[in-house]
Structure 1
Amino acid sequence: MTGPVMFNDPPVRTEAMLTLFRTVQRRLLLLTAGAAVLGVVVGLLVAGGPGVWGALLAAGLGLVFTFTTVATLRFLAGRGPELLQIVLVGGWLVKMALVVVVMLWLREQTFYHRGVFFGTLVIVLLGAVAIEMYSVATARIPAVEATTGDVSRVTTQPAEGAGTTPADGEPRQDAAREASDGDNEPPTGPSSAA
């Protein structure tokens, strides 16, 4: 059995995990593009140019917030859990600080429509949560990875009732008795008639 994975250990990249992260990234991109197109159309109809800007800003902010988490997980796949926790928590704090700064800056701006911005952002964030939950729930991640080890050392256990017990390797008394009783009796049945 191997010890814990530490900071300087080489990454073990499981293909199933990387496939999951690629799938989530692709779905997040499609969701954000769809939400941006829908938001731009609705924003254009509702508020003209400011509506378009509101939809684009919300889609961009939502994509940065959700996509970077999955990209970080993909990069850290197979590395130690300590490093994963440090990077995820640190990255989350940086993203929250970025969101606060952007929201404070946007509060004073008038070039975008706030209703379209809020609606598009809610669609992107709720859709991202749904995508991540669905992708993880339907992922096929093996519990045990196949390794290339020495397969020349194969041991076989005797079948049940084969004359030995698995514990001590001594012949079983009832199996030995059956074998000796069977030698003294003449064969019976259809084969004895032939």
Structure 2
Amino acid sequence: MWRWFKVSCESIFVPNAVISLAVKGKNNEQHMKMSKALGRFTREDPNFHVATDEESGDTVISGMGELHLDIYIERMCREYGIDVIVGAPQVNYREAITNGGFDYLHKKQTGGAGQFAGVNGSVEPLPLGNEEGFEFVNKILEDQTLQNMFRAREKGFRDVMEKGPLGAFPMVNIRVTLNEGKYHEVDSRDLAFQLASRYAMRQAVEKAIRFA
């Protein structure tokens, strides 16, 4: 006799990496081998990450601790015959805040079309371990024709989160709630809303307690 059961499959939570190392091979041939090895390791382990530093061009590996990364460095040497040159470890700090508020009006006149946008709302921490790291809540009832323009506000808030005020580390676990907004039919464009949100976020961060 068959019995049917309801099964719920939840997504796997992958925590953020906590430490990073710059790595490279001794020559181009070894560097190509290393790229192949790292590609394999990232497929095997969702906690192991590989990226390229935009400024230096270095290959950076990230994981859950020094031992975690040491295992993969040793595997590159043993399984692929690569002499890996390893940089100094760097801890991947994150910044967060407590509750804060903002009320900012961006107004600029340059002779032609100006810039006008206002935002009012609050910021608060999300529960630790939140997978998204950022939540944007828009409580303003807006005309549908203005929705595309107002989406620029969310981008402004996100831009500030990329580099926090304490050590320029990314900011995480933040909910931004937008309660009120001001706009002008002529002078309120995407850039104005983006700038208003960016300055408002900085204002909120200055008022809130920050910690890393």
- Give 1 or 2 for the bigger CA radius of gyration: 1
Normalized per residue, the structure richer in strand is 2
TM-score interval, normalised by the smaller of the two chains: under 0.3
TM value normalised by structure 1: 0.25
TM value normalised by structure 2: 0.24
Q: Identify the structure with bigger relative contact order (alpha carbons < 8 Å, sequence gap 6+).
A: 1
